[in-house]
Amino acid sequence: MIDPKLLASRFPGDFTFGVATASYQIEGASKTDGRKPSIWDAFSNMPGRVYGRHNGDVACDHYNRWEDDLDLIKDMGVSAYRFSIAWPRIIPDGTGPINEKGLDFYDRLIDGLKARGIKAFATLYHWDLPLTLMGDGGWTARSTAYAFQRYAKVVMARLGDRLDAVATFNEPWCSVWLSHLYGVHAPGERNMDAALHALHYTNLAHGLGIDAIRQVAPQVPAGLVLNAHEVIPGSDSQADRAAAERAFQFHNGVFFDPVFKGEYPADFLSALGTRMPKIEAGDLEVISQKTDWWGLNYYTPMRVADDPTPGAEFPATVAAPPVSTVKTDIGWEVYSPALKSLVEGLYRRYELPVCYITENGACYNMEVENGAVDDQPRLDYYAEHLNIVADLIKDGYPMRGYFAWSLMDNFEWAEGYRMRFGLVHVDYDTQVRTVKKSGKWYGELAAQFPKGNHKVG
């Protein structure tokens, strides 16, 4: 086992080590204190959408157990907590009346973090869109972007004075492609035209959200969390290399280019631009407003080959086989070199601000035995990827922090509760938390960095 103190010596003293969660995945209390349904409440109750018809009605019951969970973070020695705010708690219908009780919960949560000396990294949107907004089309409607802007203003006016950093969105790739093209996430559409509308209006909402943050709480460092894919060609053939570049544009460029360059990728527009919604004058200027930081969520590489099918729709790729034989319990290839080449490539292509690894982790489903969870493969995954982050810092890349996904086992979206990513095991019948071997190791590493509470940016 890698000595956490030895690994700690590879990081600067002000590096931030944190843990991450998301509202729908842990909070439960789905009908409490004025909260109304999100698209995930509806989706998870549809037959065949989520494993076992699992849902977030109770989840980890964090809404009622938040004090114990914050004590857990503090006891682990972690200096930062990344969490998301549930839009259906704050403005239950997406527009209209503000729910003060929802804001009160996050008031208590953030005050609890401050009292424990833990930095508060908030995400405004982690996929729980108020269900009422689907009446107007959800993310396929331009009006949703403006509803998000108002929501961002409401949140930042109430909570911004105590936040250490805020992200507008978590993984818009999932909200766009996984939710509207592949049908795997809520609302479960499989329609390219719908996905292209969601793409532009989600990007627009990010820009309007940055604008709202600057207006209401300009002191809070604002960013965006992207699950960029390291796209690797399945072979050295020209066809596969070209396929990998198309896949990069489709999976990464459609977010990075408008946000950091003020434009959509040229080949993407050539292929699909006529099916995009109208890009109004000023939209790209709004979307490309400067951010103070960006977050990278990384788990596994994307390997692609050219799809030779005549008339195949852009990006016209198929999956290529993995190279590594090591896989997590969710079936994802473990290949840490892709994290390094991904960061290097993104900084070559774009002028990016400082970076936080906002999610990284592994799914292994070990259960409690004799009061403990021996999840050595997860520990190995963390050690391997943290060494890559240390290499990037050594090479001069502005990596400022790392958030393990996740603090605890939780509702893993379409996989329900059968897939476990936590540093802490959750018994969903009793809500008993048990710190895993990986959690103890990560806590010992994080505890070496009491000065990790540095200013973001």
Which positions make up the binding site for substrate?
25, 126, 170, 299, 405, 412-413
Residue 365 neighbours by CB distance under 10 Å: 14
- Asked whether 428 and 26 are in contact (CB, 8 A), the reply is no
Instruction: Return the HEC string of 267-332.
Output: HHHHHHHHHCCCCCCCHHHHHCCCCCEEEEECCCCEEEEECCCCCCCCCCEEECCCCCCCECCCCC
Residues with catalytic roles: 171, 359
- Asked whether 35 and 27 are in contact (CB, 8 A), the reply is no
CB proximity list for 44: less than 8 A, separation 6 or greater: 50, 53, 54, 55, 56, 186
Instruction: Return the HEC string of the chain.
Output: CCCHHHHHCCCCCCCEEEEECCHHHHCCCCCCCCCCCEHHHHHHCCCCCCHHHCCCCCCCCHHHHHHHHHHHHHHHCCCEEEEECCHHHHCCCCCCCCCHHHHHHHHHHHHHHHHCCCEEEEEEECCCCEHHHHHHCHHHCHHHHHHHHHHHHHHHHHHHHHCCEEEEEECHHHHHHHHHCCCCCCCCCCCHHHHHHHHHHHHHHHHHHHHHHHHHCCCCCEEEEECCCCEEECCCCHHHHHHHHHHHHHHHHHHHHHHHHCCCCHHHHHHHHHHCCCCCCCHHHHHCCCCCEEEEECCCCEEEEECCCCCCCCCCEEECCCCCCCECCCCCECCCHHHHHHHHHHHHHCCCCEEEEEEECCCCCCCCECCECCCHHHHHHHHHHHHHHHHHHHCCCCEEEEEEECCECCCCHHHCCCCCCCCEEECCCCCCEEECHHHHHHHHHHCCCHHHCCCCC
- Asked whether 413 and 419 are in contact (CB, 8 A), the reply is no
Q: How far apart are the first and last CA of the chain?
A: 33
Return the sign of the alpha-carbon dihedral for residues 103, 109, 112, 116. Answer: negative
